[in-house]
Structure 1
């Protein structure tokens, strides 16, 4: 009783103004006006909140005052989480009319979250354990809770006494920036790892399998940080290793010894290896031993108390039954012995196949009115066919009997009865027993729909509903189709705004048992409309950008499909990191729904830099800086620059990710570059502008076109060739390049499967000279296939061809194709596949090249590549040059980093020219293809 009194007092305190005058007057006043006061916030936010509150409040001028409506209005406003305080002053209950005032204090919003000092624990991990999200309301009383959550996370990552400070700072009127300052302190170091009981494998061998182990390669190594959870993962890895080595009964336990003062921990592993298993088979004529070993779970799941062995025998039995060996027997014998001081358990599995049951024919009797061939397509017990022996499996046979019955029921038949029979021959000399399978069908009678009626549906909607349902008068009655049509009617009504509709189907038998009528009882309820769509959390992005593809229009009927489409459209916006959607009013069954979108924007400003080295460019430095949300319009303003041993390249541009609201990516940029590729006797300078358009089609296809206006100049660099003045004049080139890309590659950092294809046609017109008048065709394809868990096969092929369209058939060297080097034919110097009589690389108008590479995972982030490259250049315009295909092969080593592999490769020439070197080394960051 006391709890009820306290609850009542609290309710009266919260809603005190509502109840203040209840006893004064029996008749409540009418609403003269509804005034909304937004107490704080920036003008744009106040305006948005004012509009939202006006639409949500359940009172309009002239309505009679209602406590229920007031409660409903306050509850809707609370559900938005946009107000920290809602106040409704007391009313004058004696008056005939009253003015209702809502004083709404906007919530403080989290505008930014900055984390300092957490690495190597990432910011996302920190954020996941807190309840802070950019764009969400800031809850002041949750500081201690979030501090403790972060500390707990750091302790799990090995830090013994972390210090965490969370400081909210004002970033605007009602915006807060949260600063999370972390002092991790000393971490718990793994000082020693010991193994006891490991007789078959050395400590070093086992340690190298563990993530918790870090070799002390350098004197400054502090030891591996102890991360909670990694030890359990290491035990699983070690168990998996032992089982693969045939120790099916291996058991591993561990013990931790902590030294709090020294912040160290020792891990002691106790290993009971058990016997090494040796498994053999006999009597298996149908399957190879290698195939049967795949059914043995003892080497993956272990063999505690012989449970794994029993499971393996069941798997073998199941394989034989599926192949038609109904009477096969599988037994085993076990023998324990010692070999060189190591216990061995020898398991011999004896298989008695005892003849194979195959289906010679399969037929259905008693199905005259039906299409027998269509019915047989539903039956899995079949005779021999291409790449199918036709085994008889009893469980499938029993399922087929039920399947035939269901087939007839789906045709409207009632009281169908199906039985099956098999007539077996005697076993022949090959141990095969052929059988004839017959399904006997007593199909019963077929019930037909005489009439379909609708109750509670207007005539205008009834006509449309009759078009979408599958059941029609004169069609067979199928109960599953009736339920399917009931759901179709619900979906149809929901798209018309009747989201609370209920539909029930009633089947009424006719006087004749072969007929029936179906009536759908429909309760539409009220039609639900859209009260409004509001977006919060977009501190910089304009509402017009976020609502550009809004599929939900105010005051129109609610469509759940349009709501799903809206979610997809908002989440596809480039600047949006996260988006949560809410439909307010649906739980209360209101006739208006209010849709709220809480978004988190990506960081707008970016600065990226990389420093590296490869044999194609020597040392290089890349810098990229820009704004991902220029002027809040979801457009990226960027400046990219790269300088290397072969020149420089810089580009300034702007990119629109939704050009003309057509999901087209458009980019305009101006660029300048100077390039002197390795081993070439010329260089080139380029200045120009570029306009490009791209659009994604389906899931993997991208189509696009780029337009370039370019000033280009080729100049001579340390070459013995004669100078052709025309080639070294400044050229003005206009280019149009349509292209196509298809990609299913799963990762561009470390691809393991998928196909990539790119084709382009580049139309060039020289506006100043008659040199760059040609069409350049390019095709490149890549394919990745993971043959085994530790083996990936990578393939690359590329083709290029230049079709000269000008009067002068001679092209400048900087437009020709060159091969050789790290990207295509490893073993050759960069661009040195063909050397002319002057000792300079020669380019051609046609290129063809391909590569095959096996990438073998060695463990511990090391990879062994083995490759074969081939390529040829045609139409090099130089006499006495061998344009035949040239081959190279080689290997090397790569180390996998989080940003990609770093590799040193050596390519060996298989058919070098006279006097040519046999190969060379290449260094690269990232895969060559």
Structure 2
């Protein structure tokens, strides 16, 4: 009986396990993913299919008879290009649409020849030819070989023109000139096709409204390409205006629609109406245009006749104005005895209305009535223009949501501003996870002292908050999904902020060259499922440098970087250099993808550093732990043990000393945006303790804020530092110095070193500047600044707070890699031995 029971338990466990495993059949191996984990947790096949389809990695996804069938696209492993003498490899890849490491559609492979042929012909190589070879291995990796034969650079030959009628020499010359193709110039296919459009426009200008220009062929001849075109002229239209005494034919032709739409009866009537409307708007209220045409199919010519009866021009005899704003009466009275132009009058009234609206006069309205005296050819105007009462937004109450608004109340009431606030509230509700939530605006008005006061209230209806569901991870070949899962939010409810923090961390790791996020909203279960489709960046790089300097003589250096190792995101980097001073290096190993967005690194180092009043050689190790809980804040704890040797200095008696330092630092970057910020702040601080030979505590903090007004941005940075030890007992490498473009501008690096020129144990620095656009279309900005700061030898000099002062101006170009800066800084308290000014150039990421 016991044996039967045990067999039953075994079979039940086996069937349960089999039921929870998803059978997958794929034409090619899949990258790392957590499909099985999701299936065991949810058993939801439809959800998994939705996830897979969004990856863009599959031609077909099917679930049939309990099995998931996947037809994965080819993965472009390598592209080998030869013969591209005139263009970089990256240009060829961009034109063909080939990206190594990404899925590739077979249609893209088939179109490579056409795309590349056109690219070369657009750039002067009409005789190009190429051979494309693609090899596919059993894993679905595609290896593309592209052999290009560029041929000679082609020149434009003769423009050979044929047509539906005989073309005289004079017209041919005009057509060639209109094409703007010059014989002997570099052949460019795009320029040839543009020339066809120019010829077409030229023929329209000659009133061939039915003409059509066709590029027949390109005929190579040695290093030249002859261009054959055929022109179907169609009808030649001759337009005759009669009676147009006040306006030229050229001006009236602008109202004809034949050029855009060809000639037919409907276009003739439409053109007639356009001309009549133009005349009426210019004061000719009795105008009449009578159209007619005569066709001659033998000559292929059509004469179009537009007989215009202009009549007399009407003037404004009297203007009667009713308004609650007297200055408007003075302005509109100027219309009296002027030519009556209806469009001009209405535009002027609309401008006034718009201006008052922006000032809070929401009920501004106007009307124009006219009384036409056709016998005297005059118009009497009755204009009603009422500004109404000014509306003031007195209060704004937002219920259920905290929103940071920059509204200085009371202010002019503008409905569009409230609509923007309402939209921001709705966005905030959804960003907090209430995806079915909504917000409603209510405004109460009351009159007081001749003004209309508005009290606005925004009510929210949040509904049920959505929870975080499943996260699908797909695409990595060298990193297991668990590493990423350990760094995702563990909060029960979905928020946009957590989602953004996850994305920021994935980019911060530098493991991926692209991250494609998707949200799959399950409204029935109030759940947000996430999907991350990842593509890994290259995993290694190496570079070597040979250089020479007067101090180091011949310098040989090499750097290697390896990342995304051992399936768990480990990294290794090494740098070594050999100079006359010795062999120096830094070897670092670690991982920045540990759970909870933590990184840990171990470094072995030996370095030589040059400074203004000393040099120093270091050898030792450091251990660094960091955590990035969100996209703004980063904490770092560092422990280092270093042997130090001072050289070329006379300010400290001991040349050799050891340091054992424990350092804690924090960065809070709330700048918005990161590139060329105009609001927000940036804070950084550290506390450092040395336990070895020097035995000191160092505290340093820095903060910068940004404030925008009009088109200016004002920013200030304050920096404070203090070491709990007398300066004379500190080696120069542990003292404070100032100077440089990112410090106290106008001074060289570490030039500001206190009264004794030996550095100090405390510092104060205040940078104040204003930034403004110079040529924003070229991304070029200017700035002007005043800097105050100094280094202090002891606490008594710090209390006096005697500071060096500089001021200057410069330009900067903000880019994603940092701002390119150039400035000139002047010393406001110049001393005898100092220069008056300093020119500086730098790339600064925290500008």
> Which TM-score bucket, shorter chain as reference?
0.5 to 0.7
**828-837 vs 872-881, greater mean Cα deviation:** 872-881
The residue that corresponds to 1:110 in the other structure is: 75
The residue that corresponds to 1:405 in the other structure is: none
Q: Distance in 1 between matches of 2:702 and 2:840?
A: 25
Please say if residues 501 and 630 of structure 2, whose CA atoms lie closer than 8 Å, have aligned partners that are also in contact.
Answer: no
Gaps (5+ residues) in structure 1? 1-33, 59-68, 89-99, 191-221, 232-256, 266-271, 275-282, 293-304, 332-350, 363-372, 378-384, 397-417, 425-431, 439-477, 496-529, 553-558
Q: Distance in 2 between matches of 1:436 and 1:834?
A: 61
Task: After superposition, give the CA deviation of every residue in 1:668-700 in whole Å (9 maximum; x if it has no partner).
Answer: 3223321122xx221222223233333334442
The residue that corresponds to 2:690 in the other structure is: 765
Please say if residues 422 and 435 of structure 1, whose CA atoms lie closer than 8 Å, have aligned partners that are also in contact.
Answer: yes
* Residue 178 of structure 1, aligned match among 139, 144, 151: 144
Please say if residues 753 and 759 of structure 2, whose CA atoms lie closer than 8 Å, have aligned partners that are also in contact.
Answer: yes
Task: After superposition, give the CA deviation of every residue in 1:539-560 in whole Å (9 maximum; x if it has no partner).
Answer: 33335445656999xxxxxx99
Please say if residues 110 and 135 of structure 1, whose CA atoms lie closer than 8 Å, have aligned partners that are also in contact.
Answer: yes
* Residue 786 of structure 2, aligned match among 866, 869, 890: 869
The answer to whether residue 185 in structure 2 is matched with residue 148 in structure 1 is no
In 2 relative to 1, CA 388–535 (structure 1 residues): closer, same or farther, beyond 3 Å? Answer: closer
In 2 relative to 1, CA 857–118 (structure 1 residues): closer, same or farther, beyond 3 Å? Answer: farther
Compute the displacement of 1:600 (Å). Answer: 2.5
Please say if residues 672 and 685 of structure 1, whose CA atoms lie closer than 8 Å, have aligned partners that are also in contact.
Answer: yes
Q: Distance in 2 between matches of 1:566 and 1:898?
A: 19
Please say if residues 712 and 733 of structure 1, whose CA atoms lie closer than 8 Å, have aligned partners that are also in contact.
Answer: no
Q: Distance in 2 between matches of 1:47 and 1:828?
A: 54
Please say if residues 772 and 782 of structure 2, whose CA atoms lie closer than 8 Å, have aligned partners that are also in contact.
Answer: yes
Compute the displacement of 1:112 (Å). Answer: 2.0
In 2 relative to 1, CA 306–832 (structure 1 residues): closer, same or farther, beyond 3 Å? Answer: farther
Q: Distance in 1 between matches of 2:591 and 2:577?
A: 23
The residue that corresponds to 2:361 in the other structure is: 324
In 2 relative to 1, CA 225–744 (structure 1 residues): closer, same or farther, beyond 3 Å? Answer: farther
Q: Distance in 2 between matches of 1:49 and 1:801?
A: 49
In 2 relative to 1, CA 672–600 (structure 1 residues): closer, same or farther, beyond 3 Å? Answer: same
Q: Distance in 1 between matches of 2:506 and 2:579?
A: 38
The residue that corresponds to 2:767 in the other structure is: 850
Please say if residues 720 and 764 of structure 2, whose CA atoms lie closer than 8 Å, have aligned partners that are also in contact.
Answer: yes
Q: Distance in 2 between matches of 1:566 and 1:387?
A: 35
The 5 A counterparts of 1:232-631 are: 314-321=350-357, 323-324=360-361, 326=363, 356-358=388-390, 387-388=410-411, 537-545=475-483, 548=486, 574-578=510-514, 599-607=534-542, 625-631=560-566
Q: Distance in 2 between matches of 1:756 and 1:157?
A: 48
Q: What secondary structure is seen at the aligned counterpart in 1 of 2:840?
A: strand
The residue that corresponds to 2:806 in the other structure is: 888
* Residue 662 of structure 1, aligned match among 596, 602, 607: 596
Please say if residues 361 and 391 of structure 2, whose CA atoms lie closer than 8 Å, have aligned partners that are also in contact.
Answer: no
The answer to whether residue 706 in structure 2 is matched with residue 783 in structure 1 is yes
Please say if residues 705 and 739 of structure 1, whose CA atoms lie closer than 8 Å, have aligned partners that are also in contact.
Answer: no
In 2 relative to 1, CA 146–904 (structure 1 residues): closer, same or farther, beyond 3 Å? Answer: same
In 2 relative to 1, CA 675–697 (structure 1 residues): closer, same or farther, beyond 3 Å? Answer: same
* Residue 802 of structure 1, aligned match among 719, 722, 734: 722
The residue that corresponds to 1:711 in the other structure is: 643
Q: Distance in 2 between matches of 1:571 and 1:715?
A: 43
The residue that corresponds to 1:443 in the other structure is: none
Compute the displacement of 1:51 (Å). Answer: 8.2
Q: Distance in 1 between matches of 2:576 and 2:107?
A: 47
Q: Distance in 1 between matches of 2:603 and 2:120?
A: 45
In 2 relative to 1, CA 923–601 (structure 1 residues): closer, same or farther, beyond 3 Å? Answer: closer
In 2 relative to 1, CA 155–645 (structure 1 residues): closer, same or farther, beyond 3 Å? Answer: farther
Aligned positions, number: 611
Q: Distance in 1 between matches of 2:410 and 2:530?
A: 56
Please say if residues 79 and 100 of structure 2, whose CA atoms lie closer than 8 Å, have aligned partners that are also in contact.
Answer: no
Compute the displacement of 1:774 (Å). Answer: 1.8
In 2 relative to 1, CA 574–376 (structure 1 residues): closer, same or farther, beyond 3 Å? Answer: closer
Q: Distance in 2 between matches of 1:759 and 1:170?
A: 52
Q: Distance in 2 between matches of 1:893 and 1:186?
A: 45
Please say if residues 624 and 638 of structure 1, whose CA atoms lie closer than 8 Å, have aligned partners that are also in contact.
Answer: yes
Please say if residues 669 and 681 of structure 2, whose CA atoms lie closer than 8 Å, have aligned partners that are also in contact.
Answer: yes
Please say if residues 31 and 475 of structure 2, whose CA atoms lie closer than 8 Å, have aligned partners that are also in contact.
Answer: no
The residue that corresponds to 1:134 in the other structure is: 101
Instruction: Output the TM-score relative to the length of structure 1.
Output: 0.49
Please say if residues 662 and 690 of structure 2, whose CA atoms lie closer than 8 Å, have aligned partners that are also in contact.
Answer: yes
* Residue 913 of structure 1, aligned match among 831, 839, 845: 831
Q: Distance in 1 between matches of 2:546 and 2:325?
A: 60
Q: Distance in 1 between matches of 2:412 and 2:26?
A: 80
The residue that corresponds to 2:738 in the other structure is: 819
Q: Distance in 1 between matches of 2:514 and 2:607?
A: 38
Q: Distance in 2 between matches of 1:287 and 1:227?
A: 61
Q: Distance in 2 between matches of 1:815 and 1:854?
A: 34
Compute the displacement of 1:626 (Å). Answer: 0.9
Please say if residues 732 and 766 of structure 1, whose CA atoms lie closer than 8 Å, have aligned partners that are also in contact.
Answer: yes
Q: Distance in 2 between matches of 1:602 and 1:745?
A: 28
In 2 relative to 1, CA 815–669 (structure 1 residues): closer, same or farther, beyond 3 Å? Answer: same
The residue that corresponds to 2:424 in the other structure is: none
The answer to whether residue 595 in structure 2 is matched with residue 651 in structure 1 is no
Q: Distance in 2 between matches of 1:846 and 1:156?
A: 61
Q: CA RMSD in A?
A: 7.2
Compute the displacement of 1:887 (Å). Answer: 1.9
The answer to whether residue 616 in structure 2 is matched with residue 684 in structure 1 is yes
Please say if residues 32 and 474 of structure 2, whose CA atoms lie closer than 8 Å, have aligned partners that are also in contact.
Answer: no
Q: What secondary structure is seen at the aligned counterpart in 1 of 2:743?
A: coil
Q: What secondary structure is seen at the aligned counterpart in 1 of 2:729?
A: coil
Please say if residues 362 and 391 of structure 2, whose CA atoms lie closer than 8 Å, have aligned partners that are also in contact.
Answer: no
The residue that corresponds to 1:832 in the other structure is: 751
**167-176 vs 889-898, greater mean Cα deviation:** 889-898
Please say if residues 819 and 833 of structure 1, whose CA atoms lie closer than 8 Å, have aligned partners that are also in contact.
Answer: yes
Please say if residues 549 and 566 of structure 1, whose CA atoms lie closer than 8 Å, have aligned partners that are also in contact.
Answer: no
Compute the displacement of 1:832 (Å). Answer: 1.9
Q: Distance in 1 between matches of 2:669 and 2:225?
A: 53
Compute the displacement of 1:285 (Å). Answer: 12
Compute the displacement of 1:858 (Å). Answer: 4.2
Instruction: Output the TM-score relative to the length of structure 2.
Output: 0.53
Q: Distance in 1 between matches of 2:680 and 2:355?
A: 34
Q: What secondary structure is seen at the aligned counterpart in 1 of 2:616?
A: strand
Q: Distance in 1 between matches of 2:131 and 2:351?
A: 57
Gaps (5+ residues) in structure 2? 1-20, 157-184, 195-214, 228-250, 255-321, 332-340, 369-382, 401-407, 420-441
Compute the displacement of 1:317 (Å). Answer: 0.8
Please say if residues 613 and 923 of structure 1, whose CA atoms lie closer than 8 Å, have aligned partners that are also in contact.
Answer: no
